[in-house]
Structure 1
Amino acid sequence: MSIFSALFEQGKVYNFEQAFGVKDITTDTMQAAIKDWAQLYYQTEPTQDEDPCQRIPVSVVAKLTKTTFSEYKAVPTKQGAEYIDALLRELDAVKVKAMQQALIGGQCFLKPVFGRMGVTFAVVSRGSYIPLGRNERDEITDIGMAERTVEGRSYYTLLERRRVDTKGDLTIETKLYRSETAQILGYETSLGALEKYADLVPELVLPGIGSIGLIPVRAPQENTVDGSPDAVSVYAPAAGLIHNINRNEAQLNREFENGRSRIVASADLLRTGSDGKKRLTDDLFVGLDDDPDAVGMTIFSPALREQSFLARKTEYLRNAESLIGLKRGLLSEVEAAERTATEITSSAGDYNLTIIDFQHMWETAAREALRVCGVLGRMYKIYSGPDIDPAKDVVISWGNGILYDEDQTWSDYKDMVARGLLKPEIAVGWYFDMPIETEADLKKVREKYMPEIQAMEGAGDE
């Protein structure tokens, strides 16, 4: 049961909405869809109607995540940027988990955690938060989150509400509940009841953050469930087809089970003998009450319809590929080889565009994380360097064949330099990931990589 659901104990209700006097703005239709996406991804046990052994959502999420980050690299543009470098390392540590949770639930959040050892990031999945308010750009401006801890026989649930006002000030309200069972929130207790929450305060106001202090990682697809601002799972358009595939798998299993050869024998041959043992114990035999002389033994072996089931499943998989935007054959052809970002060319069509969308998604989140942590780092007094410019202070590269072909770009730059259409410093600065926006930037490029030109400029100045 979700910890956001209505929970009852002795006639009292304890849930997030009652704790803060707010309401989840997610529609009932979306709540049902979010639950279904999670079940499709995490379910392993077959039911009477569906067998999830194909694990289609797991395969989709894994392949997209692997391809998206196959040639990913992020580095600071300035020497001595230890704080930015540390942030990029922490982002690198959670990028796969964050991407997977965003693909499963439509959106997750990166939560900066400032501790004695520096900054780390926690991934807040869709099942661990509820939206409480949005602005005119459909950005979440009021959010509720929950974190559960088990200590001894007690269950502790930390409820956190974050809301940002029109001035950009962030208010964080925190409450801790204790219960003896996992099904209820229980009663409110002091934040100091758990050592890890001892430094928290019931209400904290952080001015000038400009957001809820969490970094959204949002899947780019349009909401096809109810048209609301909520993000949707990458496999949401194919959820119905995935259920059909699971049902097809269950039907195929029953076809083989029901189609096993049986030997119909007289029932008296199966009866227990005087020694207490059955004469024919294998489940291959089926008893029939009739005249033994008329029945005897008959082998029953119906024809299996394997090919029709497999053909239907293949068609379902191809349709799922089209709806999700996957490369044809990625699911429906077992022999399809995995490819890196470089190997995916424009001929990949929709799949190439799908990967580009997810790379933009992560790059946007990573740069926003740098901005937020730059502001929060000053507030928590762990960063005292210059203001962080996410657009200039970090270079994010995705390799060839996705956002651009680096080899082709370098060839074009050299050709433009040879024609006198581009300054050599710009081409060299681009190649070595150095800033090239200002004359001071170009001078640094000349000093580091073009000493002869720099020497000639110095001679000309005399």
Structure 2
Amino acid sequence: MLERLKTFVRGVIRKMFPAKSIEQALDVKPCISSVMQERIEFWHNMYIGIAPWCKGSVTSLRKEQGICMEFANVCLNEMESQVSIERLDDIYKKAIQDLNENLQSGLALGSFIIKPLGGDKVEYLTADKFVPLAYDERGRLTDVVFIQDKKDGEDYYRRLERHTLIDSMLTISNRAFVSKSQDDIGREISLESVEEWKNFPKSVSYQGIDKPDFGYYRNPIKNEIDGSPCGVSIYEAGIDRLEEVDNQNARIKWEFKSGERAIQVTPQAVKKTTIGPNGEMSFETADLDERLYRTVDLQDGECKDFYREWSPEFRDTNIINGLNYHLRQLEFSVCLSYGDLSDVADVDKTATEAKIAKKRKFNMVAAIQSNLKDCLEDLVYALAFYNAMLRSGYEFSCTFKDSILEDEATERENDRADVALGAMQLWEYRMKHYAEDEETAKKMVAQTADVIE
């Protein structure tokens, strides 16, 4: 059933519209390459649980979603943002109501856009839904094509909506195309040919615009795939580990399945006798629990047993330890702290290693928040533009608390209180926070006591 579902999902996933078709239609070379588009599709398939290695007995543990969810939750958990003008602030707050779940998708595919639709309505578009054409020196997207699809019978209709910001002039243009193929741009038609598109202007320009009319976010990860400014998935560096995790999980499932208790019985041991209406006797096999009983020929030399128990020893501990090892390697690769994905009770790390891991995660979170702040600042500008409040003198503020490092400081203070109460030994405190082994910690405590005396 699961395999049929995977096949169905693969069949309905829409591939990204080829960048070369955009180049053909608009006579401009996109920033994104075909290699990058294929990678985005690959990240997307991983995110929804159908990575190429997920076949047969190997299914996805969906750790890709776990990674994105952890980063999104930490980044937004203590975010405080507001606009000084109440009406614009209300519009902004409604626009970001679904920010967490869409940030998760953006982290998975490398980038996303928050595009105003008028009023307080916005559309979240991940990297597979737009084609970047140009960036400025800050990495801000200044020329982009949004693609809207419509299928009518055998015909594929597409509307290409291009937003270009050059020298403080924003130009929005719309063009429509029809094709018999999903991968071909086809021939150009008038916007009036499609009822829903007849009111879109062919081209309109606005002077005095300093920022794009949308918010653009990209992950703070250098693009080594095609060298473009396009965003890279948050789990790109951990792809090999993610594959190992799924394979190891398959081994765990097989260990439990193959090690199920069973009773092997001879056919003679499970015969039952019935007597017919005329006194005749017949023999047939009794109804048994097929999961527990297995009928086999138990010939063992000269002896013949009627039954034999099958109860092999489980090797689950070693295999689960192996899974935790791969999870810890994955945590390192994607800049998570030890224990975010792995079993926290099995994290055999020194206090120094744990502190470094937290600092590594903090640095990544801080970089994500910095890029997200730029995205939200541009979003507020776009909302002000579309709601005629661009010259209202609004101010936007966005702050994030350093909860990761604050948690560490809080933990240290709590441990100090436990030491003072006698609930924790001072040498235990030193082991935890000074990365000392038990012998060294006890020695240091003794030396301190001698000095005090």
Query: Structure 2-normalised TM-score?
Result: 0.68
Give 1:51's match in structure 2, choosing from 56, 59, 62: 59
Q: Name the structure 2 match of 1:353.
A: 363
Q: Name the structure 2 match of 1:397.
A: 399
1:379-458 aligned within 5 A: 382-383=387-388, 386=391, 388=393, 393-399=395-401, 401=403
SS of residue in 2 equivalent to 1:175: strand
Residue 146 in structure 1 maps to residue 147 in structure 2: yes
- Quick one: structure 1 residues 265 and 238, their matched pair in 2 at CA, closer, same or farther if it must change by over 3 Å? same
Q: Name the structure 2 match of 1:41.
A: 47
Separation of aligned partners in 1, 2:204 and 2:41: 32
Contact 2:132 2:145 in 1 (8 A): yes
1:243-282 aligned within 5 A: 243-266=243-266, 282=290
Q: Name the structure 1 match of 2:123.
A: 122
Contact 1:98 1:217 in 2 (8 A): no
1:19-34 aligned within 5 A: 19-21=25-27, 24-34=30-40
Shift of 1:128: 0.7
Query: Structure 1-normalised TM-score?
Result: 0.67
Separation of aligned partners in 1, 2:267 and 2:79: 69
Question: Residues 175-213 of structure 1: CA distance to partner in whole angstroms, max 9, x if unpaired?
Answer: 345689988878766534665534212333334435553
Give 2:314's match in structure 1, choosing from 271, 279, 304: 304
Separation of aligned partners in 2, 1:159 and 1:269: 73
Q: Name the structure 1 match of 2:197.
A: 197
1:161-200 aligned within 5 A: 161-164=161-164, 166-176=166-176, 190-192=190-192, 196-200=196-200
Contact 2:79 2:401 in 1 (8 A): yes
SS of residue in 2 equivalent to 1:173: strand
SS of residue in 2 equivalent to 1:93: coil
Separation of aligned partners in 1, 2:186 and 2:291: 52
Separation of aligned partners in 2, 1:269 and 1:21: 81
Q: Kindly provide the amino acid, as one letter, of the partner of residue 205 in structure 1.
A: S
Residue 215 in structure 1 maps to residue 215 in structure 2: yes
- Quick one: structure 1 residues 70 and 178, their matched pair in 2 at CA, closer, same or farther if it must change by over 3 Å? same
Separation of aligned partners in 2, 1:322 and 1:38: 22
Contact 1:4 1:16 in 2 (8 A): no
SS of residue in 2 equivalent to 1:247: helix
Shift of 1:369: 2.0
- Quick one: structure 1 residues 176 and 90, their matched pair in 2 at CA, closer, same or farther if it must change by over 3 Å? farther
- Quick one: structure 1 residues 98 and 263, their matched pair in 2 at CA, closer, same or farther if it must change by over 3 Å? closer
Contact 1:269 1:279 in 2 (8 A): no
- Percent identity reads 19
SS of residue in 1 equivalent to 2:148: strand
Q: Name the structure 2 match of 1:329.
A: 339
Contact 2:338 2:344 in 1 (8 A): no
Question: Residues 52-106 of structure 1: CA distance to partner in whole angstroms, max 9, x if unpaired?
Answer: 23x21222222222222222222334xxx24532342234324224422321111
Separation of aligned partners in 2, 1:181 and 1:285: 56
> Where in structure 1 are there 5+ consecutive unaligned residues?
8-13, 337-344, 406-462
Residue 365 in structure 1 maps to residue 362 in structure 2: no
- Quick one: structure 1 residues 229 and 283, their matched pair in 2 at CA, closer, same or farther if it must change by over 3 Å? same
> Where in structure 2 are there 5+ consecutive unaligned residues?
1-12, 274-281, 347-354, 408-453
Backbone CA RMSD of aligned residues: 4.2
Q: Name the structure 2 match of 1:412.
A: none
